[in-house]
A and B are shown apart, each in its own frame.
Chain A
Protein backbone atom coordinates (compact mmCIF):
# COMPACT_ATOMS: atom_id res chain seq x y z
CA UNK A 1 0.00 0.00 0.00
CA UNK A 2 1.35 3.39 -0.86
CA UNK A 3 0.64 6.36 1.38
CA UNK A 4 -0.19 9.87 0.24
CA UNK A 5 2.45 11.40 -2.04
CA UNK A 6 5.04 14.02 -1.19
CA UNK A 7 3.01 16.92 -2.54
CA UNK A 8 -0.41 15.69 -1.33
CA UNK A 9 -1.62 18.32 1.10
CA UNK A 10 -4.13 17.22 3.78
CA UNK A 11 -7.58 18.58 2.99
CA UNK A 12 -7.94 20.37 6.34
CA UNK A 13 -5.53 23.06 5.10
CA UNK A 14 -7.96 23.85 2.27
CA UNK A 15 -5.11 24.72 -0.04
CA UNK A 16 -2.91 23.19 -2.73
CA UNK A 17 0.87 22.94 -2.47
CA UNK A 18 1.37 25.89 -4.79
CA UNK A 19 -1.35 27.79 -2.96
CA UNK A 20 0.60 27.38 0.29
CA UNK A 21 3.82 28.50 -1.40
CA UNK A 22 2.08 31.62 -2.73
CA UNK A 23 0.55 32.34 0.67
CA UNK A 24 3.94 31.88 2.36
CA UNK A 25 5.69 34.29 0.00
CA UNK A 26 2.88 36.80 0.42
CA UNK A 27 2.89 36.62 4.24
CA UNK A 28 6.69 37.01 4.26
CA UNK A 29 7.23 39.69 1.62
CA UNK A 30 4.37 42.15 2.23
CA UNK A 31 5.84 42.93 5.70
CA UNK A 32 9.32 43.44 4.22
CA UNK A 33 7.89 45.80 1.58
CA UNK A 34 6.01 47.85 4.19
CA UNK A 35 9.11 47.81 6.40
CA UNK A 36 11.22 49.18 3.56
CA UNK A 37 8.65 51.87 2.72
CA UNK A 38 8.75 53.13 6.33
CA UNK A 39 12.50 52.60 6.82
CA UNK A 40 13.60 54.87 3.97
CA UNK A 41 12.03 58.11 5.30
CA UNK A 42 12.75 57.18 8.93
CA UNK A 43 16.38 56.41 8.06
CA UNK A 44 16.64 59.70 6.20
CA UNK A 45 15.39 61.53 9.31
CA UNK A 46 18.09 59.76 11.37
CA UNK A 47 20.75 60.87 8.87
CA UNK A 48 19.46 64.43 8.83
CA UNK A 49 19.12 64.73 12.62
CA UNK A 50 21.96 62.60 13.96
CA UNK A 51 20.87 62.97 17.60
CA UNK A 52 17.83 60.92 16.65
CA UNK A 53 19.87 57.85 15.70
CA UNK A 54 21.11 56.49 19.07
CA UNK A 55 17.62 56.41 20.67
CA UNK A 56 16.12 54.93 17.49
CA UNK A 57 18.86 52.30 17.54
CA UNK A 58 18.06 51.31 21.11
CA UNK A 59 14.33 51.14 20.45
CA UNK A 60 14.95 48.92 17.43
CA UNK A 61 17.26 46.69 19.48
CA UNK A 62 14.56 46.17 22.09
CA UNK A 63 11.80 45.60 19.51
CA UNK A 64 13.95 43.07 17.68
CA UNK A 65 14.48 41.15 20.91
CA UNK A 66 10.74 40.49 21.33
CA UNK A 67 10.28 36.84 20.36
CA UNK A 68 7.95 36.33 17.39
CA UNK A 69 5.76 33.81 19.22
CA UNK A 70 5.26 36.23 22.13
CA UNK A 71 4.58 39.08 19.70
CA UNK A 72 1.92 37.03 17.87
CA UNK A 73 0.25 36.14 21.14
CA UNK A 74 0.10 39.72 22.42
CA UNK A 75 -1.58 40.70 19.14
CA UNK A 76 -4.23 37.94 19.17
CA UNK A 77 -6.16 40.05 21.66
CA UNK A 78 -6.38 42.89 19.11
CA UNK A 79 -6.29 41.36 15.64
CA UNK A 80 -7.38 37.76 16.35
CA UNK A 81 -5.69 34.60 15.06
CA UNK A 82 -5.38 36.00 11.55
CA UNK A 83 -2.72 36.62 8.91
CA UNK A 84 -2.53 40.24 10.05
CA UNK A 85 -1.34 39.02 13.45
CA UNK A 86 1.54 37.22 11.77
CA UNK A 87 2.38 40.07 9.43
CA UNK A 88 2.53 42.92 11.98
CA UNK A 89 5.55 41.54 13.91
CA UNK A 90 7.31 40.64 10.66
CA UNK A 91 6.82 44.24 9.52
CA UNK A 92 8.35 45.51 12.76
CA UNK A 93 11.36 43.17 12.45
CA UNK A 94 11.94 44.24 8.83
CA UNK A 95 11.73 47.90 9.76
CA UNK A 96 14.14 47.37 12.62
CA UNK A 97 16.65 45.64 10.33
CA UNK A 98 16.38 48.13 7.50
CA UNK A 99 16.68 51.47 9.34
CA UNK A 100 20.28 50.85 10.56
CA UNK A 101 21.18 49.30 7.19
CA UNK A 102 19.98 52.45 5.42
CA UNK A 103 21.61 54.88 7.86
CA UNK A 104 24.96 53.08 7.71
CA UNK A 105 24.76 52.95 3.94
CA UNK A 106 24.06 56.66 3.53
CA UNK A 107 26.69 57.55 6.13
CA UNK A 108 29.28 55.50 4.25
CA UNK A 109 29.15 57.98 1.35
CA UNK A 110 32.53 59.80 1.48
CA UNK A 111 32.51 63.54 2.09
CA UNK A 112 34.59 64.13 -1.08
CA UNK A 113 31.90 62.44 -3.16
CA UNK A 114 29.24 64.71 -1.68
CA UNK A 115 31.41 67.78 -2.24
CA UNK A 116 32.07 66.71 -5.83
CA UNK A 117 28.33 66.32 -6.41
CA UNK A 118 27.75 69.77 -4.92
CA UNK A 119 30.47 71.27 -7.12
CA UNK A 120 28.82 69.72 -10.16
CA UNK A 121 25.73 71.72 -9.30
CA UNK A 122 23.58 68.96 -7.78
CA UNK A 123 20.82 70.23 -5.49
CA UNK A 124 19.96 68.36 -2.29
CA UNK A 125 17.20 66.25 -3.90
CA UNK A 126 19.27 65.37 -6.93
CA UNK A 127 22.25 64.58 -4.73
CA UNK A 128 20.11 62.28 -2.61
CA UNK A 129 18.59 60.43 -5.57
CA UNK A 130 21.67 60.23 -7.79
CA UNK A 131 24.53 59.91 -5.31
CA UNK A 132 23.55 58.96 -1.75
CA UNK A 133 20.82 56.43 -2.49
CA UNK A 134 22.80 54.47 -5.15
CA UNK A 135 25.88 54.28 -2.91
CA UNK A 136 23.69 53.05 -0.04
CA UNK A 137 22.21 50.27 -2.19
CA UNK A 138 24.63 47.50 -1.11
CA UNK A 139 23.92 48.15 2.58
CA UNK A 140 20.16 48.31 2.00
CA UNK A 141 20.25 45.05 0.04
CA UNK A 142 22.31 43.43 2.81
CA UNK A 143 19.58 44.45 5.26
CA UNK A 144 16.88 43.19 2.90
CA UNK A 145 18.61 39.80 2.63
CA UNK A 146 18.44 39.28 6.40
CA UNK A 147 14.90 40.65 6.59
CA UNK A 148 13.63 38.35 3.84
CA UNK A 149 15.41 35.26 5.21
CA UNK A 150 14.09 35.78 8.73
CA UNK A 151 10.61 36.66 7.46
CA UNK A 152 10.39 33.44 5.41
CA UNK A 153 11.53 31.43 8.42
CA UNK A 154 9.22 33.15 10.93
CA UNK A 155 5.98 32.81 8.92
CA UNK A 156 6.09 29.10 9.85
CA UNK A 157 5.81 29.97 13.56
CA UNK A 158 2.37 31.39 12.72
CA UNK A 159 1.20 27.77 12.57
CA UNK A 160 1.32 27.70 16.39
CA UNK A 161 -1.38 30.36 16.77
CA UNK A 162 -3.95 28.48 14.71
CA UNK A 163 -2.89 27.51 11.20
CA UNK A 164 -1.65 30.94 10.15
CA UNK A 165 1.79 29.71 9.08
CA UNK A 166 1.27 28.86 5.37
CA UNK A 167 3.96 26.18 4.75
CA UNK A 168 4.40 25.97 8.53
CA UNK A 169 0.89 24.51 8.78
CA UNK A 170 2.31 21.40 7.11
CA UNK A 171 4.39 20.86 10.26
CA UNK A 172 1.29 20.77 12.46
CA UNK A 173 -0.33 18.29 10.09
CA UNK A 174 2.86 16.22 9.94
CA UNK A 175 2.58 15.66 13.69
CA UNK A 176 -1.21 15.23 13.61
CA UNK A 177 -1.21 12.60 10.84
CA UNK A 178 2.25 11.11 11.52
CA UNK A 179 3.49 12.01 8.04
CA UNK A 180 7.16 12.98 8.26
CA UNK A 181 7.06 13.66 4.52
CA UNK A 182 5.01 16.77 5.19
CA UNK A 183 7.66 18.11 7.59
CA UNK A 184 10.42 17.39 5.07
CA UNK A 185 8.36 19.08 2.35
CA UNK A 186 7.83 22.15 4.56
CA UNK A 187 11.52 22.50 5.47
CA UNK A 188 12.81 21.95 1.94
CA UNK A 189 10.29 24.27 0.31
CA UNK A 190 10.91 27.01 2.88
CA UNK A 191 14.69 26.70 2.52
CA UNK A 192 14.50 26.74 -1.29
CA UNK A 193 12.26 29.83 -1.15
CA UNK A 194 14.75 31.58 1.13
CA UNK A 195 17.72 30.71 -1.08
CA UNK A 196 15.93 31.75 -4.31
CA UNK A 197 14.89 35.10 -2.85
CA UNK A 198 18.43 35.62 -1.54
CA UNK A 199 19.88 34.99 -5.00
CA UNK A 200 17.32 37.38 -6.50
CA UNK A 201 18.46 40.10 -4.08
CA UNK A 202 22.14 39.53 -4.89
CA UNK A 203 21.35 39.79 -8.62
CA UNK A 204 19.35 42.95 -7.95
CA UNK A 205 22.35 44.47 -6.17
CA UNK A 206 24.64 43.62 -9.08
CA UNK A 207 22.18 45.19 -11.51
CA UNK A 208 21.80 48.35 -9.41
CA UNK A 209 25.51 48.81 -8.66
CA UNK A 210 27.41 47.96 -11.84
CA UNK A 211 30.48 49.79 -10.52
CA UNK A 212 30.90 47.42 -7.57
CA UNK A 213 33.36 44.49 -7.58
CA UNK A 214 31.49 41.21 -7.94
CA UNK A 215 32.75 39.66 -4.71
CA UNK A 216 35.48 40.10 -2.17
CA UNK A 217 35.58 42.69 0.54
CA UNK A 218 32.36 44.52 -0.13
CA UNK A 219 30.37 41.29 -0.11
CA UNK A 220 32.01 40.10 3.10
CA UNK A 221 31.41 43.42 4.82
CA UNK A 222 27.80 43.25 3.77
CA UNK A 223 27.63 39.71 5.14
CA UNK A 224 29.04 40.83 8.48
CA UNK A 225 26.72 43.80 8.67
CA UNK A 226 23.90 41.41 7.98
CA UNK A 227 24.98 39.17 10.85
CA UNK A 228 25.08 41.69 13.68
CA UNK A 229 21.73 43.35 13.25
CA UNK A 230 20.66 45.37 14.95
CA UNK A 231 21.91 44.81 18.48
CA UNK A 232 25.47 44.59 17.25
CA UNK A 233 25.22 47.98 15.62
CA UNK A 234 24.36 49.58 18.92
CA UNK A 235 27.45 47.95 20.40
CA UNK A 236 29.53 49.15 17.48
CA UNK A 237 28.20 52.67 17.94
CA UNK A 238 29.00 52.41 21.63
CA UNK A 239 32.48 51.21 20.89
CA UNK A 240 33.20 53.93 18.40
CA UNK A 241 31.74 56.88 20.32
Chain B
Protein backbone atom coordinates (compact mmCIF):
# COMPACT_ATOMS: atom_id res chain seq x y z
CA UNK B 1 0.00 0.00 0.00
CA UNK B 2 1.45 3.38 -0.91
CA UNK B 3 1.81 6.29 1.45
CA UNK B 4 -0.88 8.22 -0.43
CA UNK B 5 -3.29 5.34 0.09
CA UNK B 6 -2.65 5.56 3.85
CA UNK B 7 -3.23 9.31 3.81
CA UNK B 8 -6.51 9.10 1.93
CA UNK B 9 -7.72 6.23 4.14
CA UNK B 10 -6.94 8.27 7.22
CA UNK B 11 -8.91 11.27 6.05
CA UNK B 12 -11.84 9.25 4.73
CA UNK B 13 -12.39 7.38 7.98
CA UNK B 14 -15.34 9.24 9.52
CA UNK B 15 -14.24 8.12 13.02
CA UNK B 16 -11.34 10.54 12.67
CA UNK B 17 -13.57 13.55 12.34
CA UNK B 18 -15.26 13.93 15.72
CA UNK B 19 -14.74 13.63 19.45
CA UNK B 20 -11.78 14.08 21.74
CA UNK B 21 -9.48 12.24 19.34
CA UNK B 22 -10.96 13.79 16.18
CA UNK B 23 -9.01 15.86 13.67
CA UNK B 24 -10.77 19.20 14.40
CA UNK B 25 -10.20 18.93 18.15
CA UNK B 26 -6.54 17.93 17.74
CA UNK B 27 -5.88 20.73 15.23
CA UNK B 28 -7.33 23.29 17.65
CA UNK B 29 -5.25 21.90 20.51
CA UNK B 30 -2.14 22.01 18.33
CA UNK B 31 -2.76 25.61 17.26
CA UNK B 32 -3.59 26.53 20.86
CA UNK B 33 -0.22 25.31 22.19
CA UNK B 34 1.64 26.81 19.24
CA UNK B 35 0.15 30.29 19.42
CA UNK B 36 0.46 30.34 23.19
CA UNK B 37 4.20 29.63 22.90
CA UNK B 38 4.52 32.11 20.06
CA UNK B 39 2.67 34.76 22.08
CA UNK B 40 4.89 34.27 25.13
CA UNK B 41 8.04 34.32 22.99
CA UNK B 42 6.92 37.47 21.15
CA UNK B 43 5.99 39.12 24.47
CA UNK B 44 9.49 38.44 25.77
CA UNK B 45 11.60 38.96 22.65
CA UNK B 46 9.83 41.73 20.67
CA UNK B 47 10.17 44.55 23.25
CA UNK B 48 13.79 43.62 23.99
CA UNK B 49 14.70 43.35 20.32
CA UNK B 50 12.90 46.57 19.33
CA UNK B 51 14.34 48.65 22.18
CA UNK B 52 17.92 47.38 21.76
CA UNK B 53 17.64 47.82 18.00
CA UNK B 54 16.26 51.35 18.45
CA UNK B 55 19.12 52.38 20.74
CA UNK B 56 21.65 50.27 18.81
CA UNK B 57 23.18 48.76 21.94
CA UNK B 58 23.58 45.18 23.11
CA UNK B 59 23.64 43.50 19.69
CA UNK B 60 26.48 41.17 20.61
CA UNK B 61 24.75 40.09 23.81
CA UNK B 62 21.59 39.28 21.84
CA UNK B 63 23.56 37.25 19.28
CA UNK B 64 25.12 35.30 22.15
CA UNK B 65 21.74 34.58 23.79
CA UNK B 66 20.31 33.45 20.45
CA UNK B 67 23.26 31.13 19.76
CA UNK B 68 22.97 29.60 23.22
CA UNK B 69 19.19 29.09 22.89
CA UNK B 70 19.70 27.45 19.51
CA UNK B 71 22.10 24.91 20.99
CA UNK B 72 19.35 23.52 23.27
CA UNK B 73 17.68 20.43 21.76
CA UNK B 74 13.89 20.91 21.93
CA UNK B 75 12.93 17.30 22.46
CA UNK B 76 15.58 16.75 25.13
CA UNK B 77 14.53 19.92 26.94
CA UNK B 78 10.91 18.73 26.86
CA UNK B 79 11.72 15.34 28.44
CA UNK B 80 13.93 16.99 31.05
CA UNK B 81 11.22 19.52 31.98
CA UNK B 82 8.73 16.66 32.14
CA UNK B 83 10.92 15.00 34.79
CA UNK B 84 11.40 18.20 36.74
CA UNK B 85 7.90 19.71 36.49
CA UNK B 86 5.61 16.74 35.79
CA UNK B 87 2.70 16.55 33.36
CA UNK B 88 1.32 19.91 32.33
CA UNK B 89 1.54 22.82 29.96
CA UNK B 90 4.66 24.47 31.44
CA UNK B 91 7.11 21.68 30.48
CA UNK B 92 5.84 21.97 26.89
CA UNK B 93 5.93 25.77 26.79
CA UNK B 94 9.57 26.03 27.93
CA UNK B 95 11.20 24.28 24.92
CA UNK B 96 8.77 25.87 22.46
CA UNK B 97 9.44 29.38 23.78
CA UNK B 98 13.20 28.70 23.78
CA UNK B 99 12.81 27.70 20.14
CA UNK B 100 10.84 30.79 19.13
CA UNK B 101 12.83 33.47 20.96
CA UNK B 102 16.07 33.55 18.86
CA UNK B 103 14.55 34.34 15.45
CA UNK B 104 12.16 36.95 16.89
CA UNK B 105 14.86 38.60 18.99
CA UNK B 106 17.48 38.81 16.24
CA UNK B 107 15.19 39.94 13.43
CA UNK B 108 13.44 42.62 15.48
CA UNK B 109 16.84 43.95 16.60
CA UNK B 110 18.21 44.00 13.06
CA UNK B 111 14.98 45.37 11.63
CA UNK B 112 15.21 48.44 13.85
CA UNK B 113 18.96 48.80 13.29
CA UNK B 114 18.70 48.79 9.52
CA UNK B 115 15.89 51.33 9.16
CA UNK B 116 16.99 53.90 6.57
CA UNK B 117 18.01 57.02 8.56
CA UNK B 118 16.86 59.44 5.83
CA UNK B 119 13.07 59.12 6.41
CA UNK B 120 13.66 59.17 10.19
CA UNK B 121 15.53 62.48 9.86
CA UNK B 122 12.84 63.80 7.54
CA UNK B 123 10.16 62.89 10.09
CA UNK B 124 12.07 64.69 12.83
CA UNK B 125 12.50 67.67 10.54
CA UNK B 126 8.73 67.74 10.02
CA UNK B 127 8.39 68.14 13.79
CA UNK B 128 7.37 64.59 14.78
CA UNK B 129 8.15 63.66 18.39
CA UNK B 130 10.13 60.53 19.39
CA UNK B 131 6.97 58.43 19.90
CA UNK B 132 5.54 59.45 16.55
CA UNK B 133 8.84 58.73 14.81
CA UNK B 134 8.96 55.29 16.43
CA UNK B 135 5.36 54.25 15.70
CA UNK B 136 4.71 56.02 12.41
CA UNK B 137 8.09 55.74 10.69
CA UNK B 138 10.52 53.22 12.18
CA UNK B 139 8.07 50.41 13.02
CA UNK B 140 6.26 50.41 9.66
CA UNK B 141 9.59 50.33 7.81
CA UNK B 142 10.94 47.56 10.06
CA UNK B 143 7.74 45.50 9.85
CA UNK B 144 8.61 43.16 6.92
CA UNK B 145 11.76 41.91 8.63
CA UNK B 146 10.00 41.61 12.01
CA UNK B 147 7.24 39.55 10.36
CA UNK B 148 9.81 37.28 8.71
CA UNK B 149 11.28 36.55 12.15
CA UNK B 150 7.82 35.77 13.53
CA UNK B 151 7.15 33.54 10.55
CA UNK B 152 10.35 31.53 11.05
CA UNK B 153 9.41 31.16 14.72
CA UNK B 154 5.81 30.13 13.88
CA UNK B 155 6.88 27.45 11.39
CA UNK B 156 9.37 25.94 13.82
CA UNK B 157 6.96 26.04 16.76
CA UNK B 158 4.08 24.46 14.83
CA UNK B 159 6.42 21.68 13.64
CA UNK B 160 7.85 21.06 17.09
CA UNK B 161 4.57 21.19 19.04
CA UNK B 162 4.10 17.60 17.80
CA UNK B 163 6.48 16.36 20.49
CA UNK B 164 4.08 17.55 23.23
CA UNK B 165 2.29 14.22 22.72
CA UNK B 166 5.32 12.32 24.02
CA UNK B 167 4.63 13.75 27.50
CA UNK B 168 0.90 12.94 27.55
CA UNK B 169 -0.48 16.16 26.08
CA UNK B 170 -2.72 16.52 23.02
CA UNK B 171 -2.19 18.14 19.67
CA UNK B 172 -1.53 16.48 16.33
CA UNK B 173 1.47 14.64 17.74
CA UNK B 174 -1.06 12.31 19.42
CA UNK B 175 -1.88 10.68 16.06
CA UNK B 176 1.82 10.14 15.35
CA UNK B 177 2.89 8.91 18.79
CA UNK B 178 -0.17 6.69 19.37
CA UNK B 179 0.05 5.38 15.83
CA UNK B 180 3.72 4.48 16.22
CA UNK B 181 2.94 2.76 19.53
CA UNK B 182 0.02 0.79 18.06
CA UNK B 183 1.91 0.15 14.83
CA UNK B 184 -0.96 1.81 12.98
CA UNK B 185 0.89 3.40 10.08
CA UNK B 186 -2.26 4.98 8.63
CA UNK B 187 -2.75 7.16 11.72
CA UNK B 188 0.97 8.02 11.85
CA UNK B 189 1.04 9.22 8.26
CA UNK B 190 -2.26 11.05 8.63
CA UNK B 191 -0.98 12.94 11.67
CA UNK B 192 2.29 13.77 9.96
CA UNK B 193 0.39 15.11 6.94
CA UNK B 194 -1.70 17.37 9.18
CA UNK B 195 1.39 18.72 10.98
CA UNK B 196 3.14 19.45 7.68
CA UNK B 197 -0.05 21.10 6.40
CA UNK B 198 -0.27 23.37 9.44
CA UNK B 199 3.40 24.36 9.11
CA UNK B 200 2.86 25.26 5.45
CA UNK B 201 -0.30 27.15 6.42
CA UNK B 202 1.92 29.41 8.54
CA UNK B 203 3.71 30.56 5.36
CA UNK B 204 0.35 31.47 3.86
CA UNK B 205 -0.83 33.14 7.09
CA UNK B 206 2.21 35.38 7.34
CA UNK B 207 2.14 36.19 3.64
CA UNK B 208 -1.44 37.38 4.19
CA UNK B 209 -0.53 39.37 7.31
CA UNK B 210 2.29 40.97 5.32
CA UNK B 211 -0.10 41.98 2.53
CA UNK B 212 -2.50 43.57 5.00
CA UNK B 213 -0.15 45.10 7.55
CA UNK B 214 2.85 46.26 5.54
CA UNK B 215 2.40 49.66 3.95
CA UNK B 216 2.44 49.59 0.13
CA UNK B 217 5.24 52.17 0.18
CA UNK B 218 7.47 49.80 2.16
CA UNK B 219 6.47 46.85 0.01
CA UNK B 220 7.71 48.67 -3.06
CA UNK B 221 4.32 49.85 -4.33
CA UNK B 222 3.17 46.47 -5.60
- A171 and B76 in contact, given A69-B195, A220-B110, A239-B218 (Cβ under 8 angstroms): yes
Determine if B83 and A174 form an interchain contact, defined as CB atoms under 8 angstroms apart.
yes
B23 interface residue (CB < 8 Å to A)? no
Closest residue on chain B to residue A175 by CB atoms = B79
Which of B119-127, B132-140, B145-153 lies on the face that meets chain A? B145-153
Determine if A159 and B66 form an interchain contact, defined as CB atoms under 8 angstroms apart.
no
Interchain CB contact (< 8 A) of B189 among A74, A194, A198, A228: A74
Q: How far is the CB of A61 from chain B (nearest CB, A)?
A: 7
Interchain CB contact (< 8 A) of A62 among B66, B160, B200: B200
Contacts of A223 in B (CB 8 A): 63, 66-67, 106
- A232 and B3 in contact, given A74-B189, A194-B70 (Cβ under 8 angstroms): no
B115 interface residue (CB < 8 Å to A)? no
Residues from 54 to 106 in B contacting A, C-beta threshold 8 Å: 59-60, 63, 66-68, 70-77, 79-80, 82-84, 102-103, 105-106
Determine if B203 and A65 form an interchain contact, defined as CB atoms under 8 angstroms apart.
yes
B42 interface residue (CB < 8 Å to A)? no
A112 interface residue (CB < 8 Å to B)? no
- A187 and B148 in contact, given A65-B203, A174-B79, A227-B107 (Cβ under 8 angstroms): no
B219 interface residue (CB < 8 Å to A)? yes
Determine if A171 and B75 form an interchain contact, defined as CB atoms under 8 angstroms apart.
yes
A82 interface residue (CB < 8 Å to B)? no
Interchain CB contact (< 8 A) of A229 among B77, B152, B189, B218: B152
Determine if A183 and B79 form an interchain contact, defined as CB atoms under 8 angstroms apart.
yes
- Counting contact residues on chain A (CB < 8 A from B), the size range is 35 or more
A191 interface residue (CB < 8 Å to B)? yes
- A183 and B83 in contact, given A73-B188, A228-B152 (Cβ under 8 angstroms): yes
Determine if A187 and B159 form an interchain contact, defined as CB atoms under 8 angstroms apart.
no
Q: How far is the CB of A111 from chain B (nearest CB, A)?
A: 21
Contacts of A231 in B (CB 8 A): 148, 151-152, 155, 203
Bound complex: CA A227 to CA B99 (Å): 11
How would residues 131 to 171 of chain A score, 1 for a CB under 8 Å from any chain B CB and 0 otherwise?
00000000000000110011011001101111000011001
Residues from 210 to 241 in A contacting B, C-beta threshold 8 Å: 215, 219-221, 223-224, 226-229, 231-232, 235-236, 238-241
B213 interface residue (CB < 8 Å to A)? no
Q: How far is the CB of A191 from chain B (nearest CB, A)?
A: 5
Q: How far is the CB of B61 from chain A (nearest CB, A)?
A: 11
Interchain CB contact (< 8 A) of A236 among B59, B148, B196: B148
Bound complex: CA A152 to CA B71 (Å): 8
Bound complex: CA A207 to CA B84 (Å): 42
B176 interface residue (CB < 8 Å to A)? yes
Q: How far is the CB of B220 from chain A (nearest CB, A)?
A: 6
Determine if B103 and A62 form an interchain contact, defined as CB atoms under 8 angstroms apart.
no
A208 interface residue (CB < 8 Å to B)? no
Residues from 67 to 88 in A contacting B, C-beta threshold 8 Å: 67-71, 73-74, 76-77
List 8 A-B pairs, minimum CB-CB distance, nearest first. Answer: A67-B159, A232-B148, A70-B192, A227-B106, A194-B71, A180-B83, A224-B110, A187-B76
Task: Supply 7 further A-B pairs (C-beta < 8 A) apart from A162-B180, A240-B220.
Answer: A65-B196, A67-B158, A73-B192, A74-B3, A152-B73, A175-B79, A228-B107
User: What are 8 contact pairs spanning A and B, CB under 8 A?
Assistant: A77-B185, A180-B83, A191-B71, A220-B59, A227-B106, A228-B107, A228-B145, A232-B152
